[in-house]
Amino acid sequence: MNKKAAKAEKKGKECVIQTKGVMKCYGEEDKCVTTVLQDVDICIEKGNFVSIMGPSGSGKTTLLDIIGCLLKPTQGDVFIDGVRTAELSDDELALIRREKIGFVFQQYNLIQSATALENVSIAMRIAGKSSWEARDKAKRLLEMVGLKDRLNNRPSELSGGEQQRVAIARSLANDPKIILGDEPTGNLDTKTGQVVLNILKKLNEEEGYTIVVVTHDSRIAQYTDKIINLLDGRVSREDHPNNHNHVKGLKSTKKKGGD
């Protein structure tokens, strides 16, 4: 077991995300052909902003998929907000994703034929909210990420940064505890990436969301509380950057109403 994870456990800190001895491999039936992750023990504390770094093929996206309940580990345990996910059915995992996790992807993954408002509403419709309730809240969330004037635009009419902000609004739709980002700024230029990062940072600092992002950009990682480095499917190192107090331009964006 990784030292730091063990230490966190001893101290009795609350891990909102915890993995114990997670192993993931691909192959036929019982035969393990390619091992993607091995002995991954991590603890992500509540309210932390954590980045997962590592070279291509180090297994960082796979780890994010496992944390996000999109993928089941071959071995080991995963706890999300205290719930052991290893033995849950597909539908139960879907429920966890719906209620506890918000996703932000590198490719934004918005529904192309739907407007910004509809893209955010749909997450709430899945959770069984009425069409009016969903629209109302989607509007507020989009206003919060600064897209007040873009409610009825389709993804093709939005810039990359705007699309990613729609995706962030969508990830917040069902009041999750955790936001997972898979290279959320990977498709954006530095300046736009900074805007998106600021929003995430603000959500973390002001609203207390636990945020985990996969990135290969060390500058982004420097903004986070903790960097989990992966190498060849194993946690190689955990860093705690010291400058997690200030993100440029964040001070001026104060929380206004909302949820």
Partner 1 sequence: MWDLALKNIMRNRTRTILTTLGILIGIGAIVALGSIAEGLDAAIQSGLELTAGKITVMDAESSLFGMGGELTLEDVALIEGLSGVKEVVPMNWHAENIQMFQGPEWVAVGVPPDKVEYLIGENTQFEEGRIFEEGETEVAIIGKAISERYNAHVGDTWEIKGKFFEIVGVTEETGISDIDSSIAVPFDDMQDILDSEEFQMMYVIPDNVKDTEKVANEIEEASDKFNALTSQELARQASQIVDQIRIFTFGIGAIAAFVGGLGVMNTMIMSVMERRKEIGVMKAIGATNRMVLQQIITESALISLIGGLGGILLGILGSVLLSNVIGGGQITATVTPQLALTGLSFALFLGIIGGLYPARKASQLDPVEALRYE
Query: What is the nearest approach in angstroms of partner 1 to the Cβ of residue 97?
Result: 5
The total of other beta-carbon atoms located within 10 Å of residue 136's CB is: 14
Query: What is the nearest approach in angstroms of partner 1 to the Cβ of residue 111?
Result: 5
> Contact between 83 and partner 1 (CB under 8 A)?
no
> Contact between 152 and partner 1 (CB under 8 A)?
no
- C-alpha–C-alpha distance, residues 111 and 38, integer Å: 35
Task: Out of 20, 60, 98, 137, name the contact with partner 1 by CB under 8 A.
Answer: 98
- Alpha-carbon dihedral angle through residues 35, 36, 37, 38, given to the nearest 10 degrees: 20
Q: Give the distance, in angstroms, between the CA of residue 230 and the centroid of all CA atoms in the same chain.
A: 17
- C-alpha–C-alpha distance, residues 66 and 38, integer Å: 13
> Contact between 137 and partner 1 (CB under 8 A)?
no
Q: List phi, psi (to 5°) of 226.
A: -145, 140
Task: Out of 70, 88, 151, 195, name the contact with partner 1 by CB under 8 A.
Answer: 70
Which listed range, 40-48, 92-100, 215-223, 229-237, lies at the site for partner 1 (CB under 8 A)?
92-100
Which listed range, 77-85, 89-97, 148-156, 215-223, lies at the site for partner 1 (CB under 8 A)?
89-97
Query: What is the nearest approach in angstroms of partner 1 to the Cβ of residue 126?
Result: 5
> Contact between 122 and partner 1 (CB under 8 A)?
yes
Q: Residue 152: which residues within 8 A CB-CB, separation 6 or more?
A: 115, 116, 117
CB nearer partner 1, residue 46 or residue 72: 72
Under 8 Å between Cβ of 135 and 156 = no
Query: What is the nearest approach in angstroms of partner 1 to the Cβ of residue 234?
Result: 21
> Contact between 4 and partner 1 (CB under 8 A)?
no
Alpha helices in the chain (DSSP H): 3-11, 60-67, 90-100, 116-126, 131-144, 160-171, 190-207, 218-221
Task: Out of 41, 65, 81, 162, name the contact with partner 1 by CB under 8 A.
Answer: 65
Task: Out of 14, 111, 157, 258, name the contact with partner 1 by CB under 8 A.
Answer: 111
Under 8 Å between Cβ of 203 and 211 = yes
Query: What is the nearest approach in angstroms of partner 1 to the Cβ of residue 250?
Result: 27
Place of tokens 């940064």: 161
Number of chain residues interacting with partner 1 (CB under 8 A): 31
> Contact between 90 and partner 1 (CB under 8 A)?
yes
The total of other beta-carbon atoms located within 10 Å of residue 167's CB is: 27
Of residues 169 through 228, those in contact with partner 1 by CB under 8 A are: 170-171, 173-174
Tell me which amino acid residue 243 is: N
Query: Footprint of partner 1 on this chain (CB under 8 A)?
Result: 65, 68, 70-71, 90-91, 94-95, 97-99, 102-103, 105, 107, 109-114, 122-123, 125-127, 131, 170-171, 173-174
